[in-house]
Structures are given as C-alpha cells and as structure tokens.
Amino acid sequence: MEAVGPPSSPQHRPALSPASLAPSPAPPRAEDDEVPEAVAAYMTGEKKAPIPTFFLGGWGRGARAALAAQAAGKGNVWHLGRSGIRDVLGMKVAFLDGTYDGVVSTQPAADEDPAARHYSKTDVEALSVLASQATDVDFFLTAEWPRGVAAAVPGGKEKLPEGVAGCSDGGSAAVARLAEELRPRYHIAGGPFWQRNPYLNRDMGTGSHVTRFISLAEVDNGKKQRSLHALGVTPAAEMSHEALTQRPADTTASPYDASLKRAREDDASGDQSWRWQEKRQRAERAAPSRGKKGVIRDHTRTVFLRNLPYTAGEEDVVAFFAACGTVEDYRRGAQEEGKINSWALMQFTDVEGAEKACAMAGQKLMGREIGIDMSQRKVPGEGRPVDGCWFCLSNPTASTWLVVSVGQQSYVAMDKCPIEPMHVQIVPIEHFPSSLSLPEAAHHEFERYCGAVRSMYAADGKLPLMFERYMVLRKKGGNHMQVNLVPVVPAAAERARDFIAQMGEAAGIKKFEVFEAEAGEQGRQAMRRHVGDMEFIAFTLPDGTRMVHVIRPGEKHPMGFVREVAAALAGKPDKADWKKCEVGREAEEQAAEELRAAFGDYDLAPAE
C-alpha cells in the first residue's frame, strides 16, 4: 500500500514484559526472500520510490529484502512496524502486522522480530492501549479480515467474494476487537477485493461516525481483482463535527456486536432497535467486579480510579493501563439502585505499575478524563491513642507497671502472662495495627529494641523466637501491634522451622511462606510482598528465617496457635494457655522489676 507522506510523531508500542516461555518466531521461508520483479529495484534500493511508501507484511514475499533496504536507508520504502499508530500528513494510521496463530497470538512476544509471521498477544494489547488513548483514527491497516465483518449487511454472505472467511464464522476476533476499539474511518485489509457498506461505530460521548471496510486483492492476482484503491481523504482532525459524523444512506449497524439483529432492507419505518440492543450490551459489559478470589490485597500496589465511563468494562480499563504493568485485581462496585460506580480499585503486581498508572492521570478513556491516585488504607485509630485500648499508654487502665523501657516511638513491656520470665513484647506508643504499618522512624527503633533483647538473651545462652499475629479487630479501636519475643535454647531453635510446620499442619494451617528476613526497610517490603494488607501469622526464627501464613477471608484458625508454638519451643508447654498463667499485680510488679534490671545493660541509650 502506498502512503502520501512520511510518518511523523509515531506512537510506539508500549513496553510490555515478554514471557520467558513465549514461542520462538517461525523460521524464515525461502520464498520470503523472493522479490517480485515489478518492485525488485525499489525494494533492494536500486531505485528510490518517488514518495515515501509504507507496507505491512514484514514476513511476506520480498519483505526481508525491503527490511534490509530500509536499514540501509535506501529505496524510500518503509515497514510500518509490528503494531502501533503513526501520523501521516495529519492522518492517524493504525496498523497490526501479521496473522493469527493459535499459539503465538495468545502469548506475549519473545522478541521484537519485524519479520514475525504472526502477531503476538503483546502486539494486540499494545495497540489496544493506544486505541484507548487515540481519537479520530483515519486508517486501520491489517493483513487479515476482522471476524464478523459481514454481519448486519443486507445480503450478508451472498455479497462476499468466493472463498472468503470474513463473516461471523471466520476472520480474526482480535482484529475485530481492535477495529471496534479504534473506530477507524477506513479499515483496509488484505484478501479478495470487497467493499462493505459503511457501519456506525459506538458513540463514545462525542457522537459516532462510520467506518468503511475495504479489502484489497494481491498484486498481479490473475483474477483482475482490484489491488489498488485511490481515496481523497481529509484528515479527521481537520473536519467539522457535522462532516465527521455524517451517515450515508446505506449505513448499517456495527458488525461486531453479536447481539445486534441484521438490519432489514424492507424496513420502511427506519427501525433503530439495534441502538437499544447496543445500549443493553454496554450495560452488561460494564458489570460490577468484586475482584479475584485468593488475591493478596495490598494498597501500596493499588490505584484509586475516578470518573470512569459507565460503559467501560473491566477489560476496557485493564487494557487502558496495559503499558504500566500487569493488573492482578480489579474491583468496581455498584450503587443500591444498580448503577455501576464511577470509581474502582485496581491492583498491579508491583509498586512500579501503580506509580506508572498514576502518571496517566488526566488521560481520556472513552472520552472521559480519568482521575488516578494511589490507594490509601484507612485503619480506625491508626497513629493516635484509642480509648479503651489495652496497649495505648495513655489509657488509664493500661498495665503500665509491666513497662520495661520507653523509647521515642515504642516501648518494651513484660508479657502480662509470660511464658518465660524474659518473655517481652515490643509495642509502638501510637496505635498502629502491625509492624508493616509503622512509620519508618518507629520501625527503625523497633528493630533496635529487637537487637537489644537479642543481646539480653545471648547473655543467658539463649536465642529469640519472635512472633506477631495481625487481625483486623473491630473492638477497642482495632488491633494494636504487639511483637512477642521468647527466649529458647539453641537446640529448640534448630528444630523450630520443622516444628512450626508440623504444628501448623495439625492445626489446619497448611501453608507457611518461608523466606530470609532482611534487615531494615528491605526486610519489611519483602514481608509486605507476601502478606499485603491481609491478616497474618508471622514467626521470625533465631537464624533470621521468616515463616508467614496469610489468613484468608473466612478462614478459621486456633487463636492460641502462636502461643502454643512458642510455649512448646521454650520447653514450657504448660504455659500455652495464657489464662492459666495469670498472677496478681504484686507478682507482676516484682517480675517486671527483675526484667527491668536484667534489660538495663542493653536498653537503648536516650536520644540526643
């Protein structure tokens, strides 16, 4: 196909992560290097085309020679690329090179081979992203027909050239979906020559225009079928709204909506019922989404989307952000009257994906500017004292006599019902639900306190077993973080990992994630990757190994499990039930004073 000018401001395919298991490109065929005699001189660079000429089919006959000439800067013949949108003399030209393959086209691209015979999932998704951001596409160029293109045409299959699979039971579904998203004014494809009646695209809020589908035959096809087609086209960007949305008398409904009924030639009343069918399908497409089961929710990888089009379904929104990264969860509810919300939560597999999505704030999806912010996790009472909380030191009923040391951000206290005399808890002064929610300064001080307790245990020839249980409690302001440290002998520390796994299996807790605990913020981020915002049980073993179990919604587990494990490893299984370990206040004060004296040599120095 010939173009009338050089490309400018190309929109490149967004970078998407290729799968390591994606199939390799098909090996080149001998006929791919054969150059048709009529164009050989231009494709090899011996002659220069009088105008810039662009082509699809990097894998086709003679294409490799043209690619080589292009690389050498000869011939003035250019390959458009795998997929994308280019500006040519003010016209937007979208393109998808290659044909469908049941394996290649369902997986991400393994590389950027311009001569690949089949388009990949990456090629299709990348163009879909550009389609969501582009407006008024003038041309869409493909090597194959879109599936169902003959639907809603009076005469349907009877008007198709012989041997063409372009009706509802053939053609490419991916090309059809892209044509529906791009809404081009002209869709040009390869195959026997055929022109379809103009069809009306869906209205994205600024009015709808028609698309003309034209199939061009192969050059020198021997059947006298047209391989060239001349058009006098004004770029859509230069047209008035009235001219752009003008509808010829033979306009049909969109062929890509399976719910539309074929327009009737004899309908004198101008039946427009297909419009109502289209509206109903949009409503079905934009259904509420509760998210995927089993996904570990994490607000640090989640964005809050505002002003979403009511007709945008989950697939539309996810495709819009495909260039940012992989979306693993999408949640969009509905109002009481059944109308879908204009906002949604979308979670990526990594923080970088969410940050890239936020950078897209203000871009348009289906004609509406989307508001995008990082999700904020709101926990009742977080970061301030809560009335009635046992662990907030400002609470008049708090057991302050158990406190061993008070820092700037946290404090150390003897457990109220200790398994061992040196069984301590490290607790933030302010009300934070877990170690993952602590401010950086508080987490730093927490780790320093852990080191001090470790030193105290080491002086007695023991090692620390640390555990934390986070649950979203509904009473007394919610959960206030407490991390417990219990001293164990080296022999118990060596068997702790297997013992915890066995105890978990017996208690119905079948899975612990096991990983090495890094120090500082890196260690906390590693923990977050495993648990997100979910409830959890976590053990940190003396050798630094972490064992974490995420508590899924609705999952039941023994409330005393972590204490039972710690008591058994400490050699005090009779202390598993804390209710049996309660003593009077006088005994608590004496035990706390003894612990305070033992910890004195390791206590954190006062801040300067």
Helix or strand run (H / E) with residue 8: strand 7-11
Residue-level pLDDT at 8: 41
Whole-model pTM: value is 0.50
- Asked whether residue 540 carries a pLDDT value surpassing 90, the answer given is yes
The arithmetic mean of pLDDT across residues 137-159, rounded, is: 80
pLDDT one-digit tens code per residue, 113-126: 777 888 998 899 88
- Asked whether residue 394 carries a pLDDT value surpassing 60, the answer given is yes
- Asked whether residue 480 carries a pLDDT value surpassing 50, the answer given is yes
Residue-level pLDDT at 17: 28
The arithmetic mean of pLDDT across residues 501-525, rounded, is: 85
Percent of the chain, pLDDT > 90? Answer: 35
Q: Quick one: CA torsion of 528, 531, 536, 540, rounded to 10 degrees?
A: -50
Residue-level pLDDT at 16: 29
Tokens of residue 79, six digits:
């390959």
pLDDT one-digit tens code per residue, 168-181: 446 888 999 999 99
Residue-level pLDDT at 13: 37
Q: Rounded distance, CA 200 to CA 530, Å?
A: 49
DSSP string, 506-519: HTT----EEEE--S
Residue-level pLDDT at 367: 81
Q: Is the dihedral of CA 436, 441, 444, 449 positive or negative?
A: negative
Domain boundaries, the chain: 7-20+82-276, 286-374, 400-602
Residue-level pLDDT at 501: 93
pLDDT one-digit tens code per residue, 21-62: 233 334 444 455 565 666 677 766 678 888 878 888 777 666
Amino acid at position 335, single letter: Q
Show contacts of 323-327: CB within 8 Å, 24+ apart: 323/14, 323/15, 323/16, 323/126, 323/129, 323/356, 324/348, 324/353, 324/354, 324/356, 324/357, 324/360, 325/17, 325/349, 325/350, 325/352, 325/353, 325/354, 325/356, 325/357, 326/17, 326/353, 327/353
Q: Is the dihedral of CA 292, 293, 295, 301 positive or negative?
A: positive
- Asked whether residue 11 carries a pLDDT value surpassing 50, the answer given is no
In the block, residue with structure tokens 């103009």: 198
Q: Rounded distance, CA 441 to CA 517, Å?
A: 19
Q: Which CATH class is domain 286-374?
A: alpha beta
Confidence grade of residue 224 (pLDDT, cut at 50, 70, 90): confident
pLDDT one-digit tens code per residue, 85-102: 988 878 899 999 988 888
Residue-level pLDDT at 401: 93
- Asked whether residue 388 carries a pLDDT value surpassing 90, the answer given is no
Give the mean pLDDT of the chain. 80
Residue-level pLDDT at 271: 46
Are the beta carbons of 119 and 128 closer than 8 angstroms? no
In the block, residue with structure tokens 């490419």: 172
Q: Tell the CATH topology of 400-602.
A: HIT family, subunit A (3.30.428)
pLDDT one-digit tens code per residue, 257-271: 653 343 333 333 444
pLDDT one-digit tens code per residue, 431-458: 888 999 898 889 999 999 999 999 999 9
Percent of the chain, pLDDT > 70? Answer: 78
